[in-house]
Amino acid sequence: MKVAEMPVESVFPRLEALLPHVQKPIQYVGGELNSTVKDWDGADVRWALMYPDAYEVGLPNQGVMILYEVLNEREGVLAERTYSVWPDLEALMREHGVPQFTVDAHRPVRAFDVFGLSFSTELGYTNMLTALDLSGIPMLAADRTLDDPIVLAGGHAAFNPEPIADFIDAAVIGDGEQAVLEMTEVIRAWKAEGRPGGRDEVLLRLAKTGGVYVPRFYDVEYLDDGRIARVVPNRSGVPWRVSKHTVMDLDEWPYPKQPLVPLAETVHERMSVEIFRGCTRGCRFCQAGMITRPVRERSITGIGEMVEKGLKATGFEEVGLLSLSSADHSEIADVAKGLADRYEEDKIGLSLPSTRVDAFNIDLANELTRNGRRSGLTFAPEGGSERIRKVINKMVSEEDLIRTVATAYGNGWRQVKLYFMCGLPTETDEDVLQIADMAKRVIAKGREVTGQNDIRCTVSIGGFVPKPHTPFQWAPQLGVEETDARLEKLRDAIRGDKKYGRNIGFRYHDGKPGIIEGLLSRGDRRVGAVIRAVYEDGGRFDGWREHFSYDRWLRAAETVLPGLGVDLPWYTTRERTAEEVLPWDHLDSGLDKDWLWEDWQDALDETEVEDCRWTPCFDCGVCPQMDTHIQVGPTGQKLLPLSVVK
């Protein structure tokens, strides 16, 4: 039996009257090249997909773009996109009763079956609450009815969805391509049967698949000291642990085939291809590397086909070769040369995200810049001293770095950017001050090999935030005052040097946003009340420096948490013990908790661990559990056609 549904009309006529009164109205009108508008009545299951940030950040997001296309390719399924509206439009929408809308057909978000949000950072949580409120969807999952969409969280932050457990109906961890299609079929069948058992029944069906986490079906019990005693299912048939999704053959999922071309300026003006997924370098701070194991490479021919189709579909003049460590692709040299050869006449530029010092070579760099501009190179040593790099398992020596930058400067580059973190476990002032010494050596080497004085080096510092499912998930976080004091000493060491200081740029974040990110990344369900209090106090766009207010978060935490027996330092600067139940232990990233703990002990002992792609297995747990193996090239194939594409 098909349930009769109300016609859904576009809100654009009401929205259009508001657009002359806001900044960048173009971001709300839709109609981008390669966007899709499908017939509402021809769809059985309808998804509204959101990257909870502004259009300029959200549109280029690969995850949302891929799911948008995967869903719209499916018969009887419709997907549209929505982004966070800026406060100027939010105020007008409230005043004129315009709900949160999709940019594709300007349909109200509340009319969809699923409202899926992709969180790459926890600082987007207040934007989710804004969107729920503007949509007319009850903020608390417990208050929603059959007429409200299933609110679903995904993305890296969803590996610990507990801080937003009160606001979401479900979370999916891991790769989304197959997961959204499996969920769609469950929802389609339930709707076709006449939606028996209501909202509870469809969520129960999703939970029983073993790959969808529904917080309402789990009770959290606490010890007297505030720690978690256990997380236990409260329904039969619901799994004790929820598994992550892993797409094993990337060549079978060559998305996006028709990348979206933005109407307004965005943070990335390029077409991107993910060349592999996963990383086994084993950097202990890196959640992305840990939760995306095992490594799965896209074949060289698969990459070539995606680039060819994507460029034809978009007209972009730059291709980003994306992954967590793109220079580690087993055929990266052939990929870069093949693409540079093929698109030489079209002057299509190639780019990699930041390059590992030990994976950089000048041949690769020359291929990447052959058809594009030779801008700066970015390297990420992460730690200032050799000792701290052993702690974090970032096996790069200072000699490696100096040798690499010497090669770069000697081959025509004039600017190098170095990325570090402050507040790493066991770090001292001395570890951080060695960043200044390293930057000075880089400038000195650049002057030596070029004979020029116009050499530049930019030092960029981010605050370390311990993340779930990493060996550092037990680590204490460095407090705000200590972080700022350490960075001040470093700044003085750089700027006080008359010989080199002028040539070294210094960018850093103070310790405040990192502490709030730490609260949200390792928080449990009690933190939800803090997020709501911040939202109600005007918190929006917390990932943007100009909108973030530490005082607002501190006020909310100091108001809410003491009544729950905990406080901000309890979540952030406190070290956890081996036996503590962590809020995300019932969400299975494939990593063995005992292995993570052993790696944490290795970090404290300053013991390095090799990359398991090229060494015997270290028993992290992923491969046997997924019944898989690390996928390693090379295939030995070349990018065909070898002739230039006209």
Domains, the chain, with CATH or none: 11-238 (3.40.50.280), 270-375+592-645 (3.30.750.210)
Query: Does residue 269 surpass a pLDDT of 60?
Result: yes
Q: Which of 278-282, 366-370, 453-457, 461-465 is predicted with the least confidence, judged by mean pLDDT?
A: 366-370
pLDDT tens for each residue of 578-628: 999 999 999 999 999 999 999 999 999 999 998 888 788 888 988 876 566
Give yes or no for residue 506 having a pLDDT over 50: yes
Average pLDDT over residues 344-366: 81
CA–chain centroid gap for 160, Å, is 13
Give the least confident one: 194-198, 340-344, 413-417. 413-417
Cα separation, 160 vs 449, in Å, equals 48
**pLDDT at residue number 352:** 82
pLDDT greater than 80 at residue 279: yes
- Residue 642: pLDDT over 60: no
Which residues are CB-contacts of 494 (< 8 A; sequence separation ≥ 6)? 436, 439, 459, 501, 504, 506
Per-residue pLDDT tens over the stretch 180-202:
999 999 999 999 999 999 999 99
Taking 80 as the threshold, does the pLDDT of residue 407 lie above it? yes
What's the pLDDT score for residue 119? 97
Q: Cα-Cα-Cα-Cα dihedral of 355, 360, 366, 371, to 10°? A: -20
What token pair was written down for 637? 């194939």
For the chain, what is the mean pLDDT?
92
What is the model's pLDDT at position 5? 58
CA 83 to chain centroid: 16
Separation CA 476–CA 467 (nearest Å): 11
Which pLDDT does position 581 carry in this prediction?
A: 98
Share of the chain above pLDDT 90, in %: 79
Q: Of residues 124 and 396, which shows the higher confidence score?
A: 124
pLDDT at 2 over 50: no
Tokens of 576: 């956890």
Average pLDDT over residues 176-182: 97
3-state secondary structure of 47: strand
Let me know how many helices (H) and strands (E) the chain has, helices first.
Answer: 21, 18
Label residue 375 by pLDDT band (50, 70, 90).
low
Q: 155-187: buried (b, 16+ CB within 10 Å) or exposed (e) per residue?
A: bbbbbbbbbbbbbbbbbbbbbbbbbbeebbebb
pLDDT at position 542, please?
96
pLDDT value at residue 616:
80
pLDDT category, 396, cuts 50, 70, 90?
A: confident
Tell me what the mean pLDDT of segment 419-436 comes to. 97
Give mean pLDDT, residues 514-528.
98
Q: Mean pLDDT throughout 291-298?
A: 93
Q: What is the Cα–Cα distance from 238 to 217, expressed in whole angstroms?
A: 7
Is the predicted pLDDT of residue 134 greater than 70, yes or no?
Answer: yes
Lowest mean pLDDT among 16-25, 47-56, 444-453: 444-453
- Token look-up 């949000």 returns 117
Q: Is the pLDDT of residue 539 over 70?
A: yes
Tens digit of each residue's pLDDT (9 = 90 or more) over 437-453: 999 999 999 999 999 88
pLDDT at 644: 45
pLDDT recorded at residue 623: 84
Closest CA to 455 of 468, 467, 443: 443
Question: pLDDT class for 11, splitting at 50, 70, 90?
Answer: very high
pLDDT tens, position by position, 146-173: 999 999 999 999 999 999 999 999 999 9
With cut-offs at 50, 70 and 90, classify the pLDDT of residue 516: very high
Amino acid at site 566: V
Give Cα 80 distance to the centre of its chain. 21
User: Does the structure show a pLDDT above 50 at 278?
Assistant: yes
User: 646: pLDDT confidence band, cut at 50, 70 and 90?
Assistant: very low
**pLDDT category of residue 3 using cuts at 50, 70 and 90:** very low
The model's pLDDT over 210-243, given as tens digits with 9 standing for 90+, comes to: 999 999 999 999 999 999 999 999 999 999 999 9
| pLDDT at residue 382, as a whole number | 93
pLDDT digits (tens, 9 = 90+) for 55-109: 999 999 999 999 999 999 999 999 999 999 999 999 999 999 999 999 999 999 9
Q: Residue 645: its pLDDT value, please? A: 44
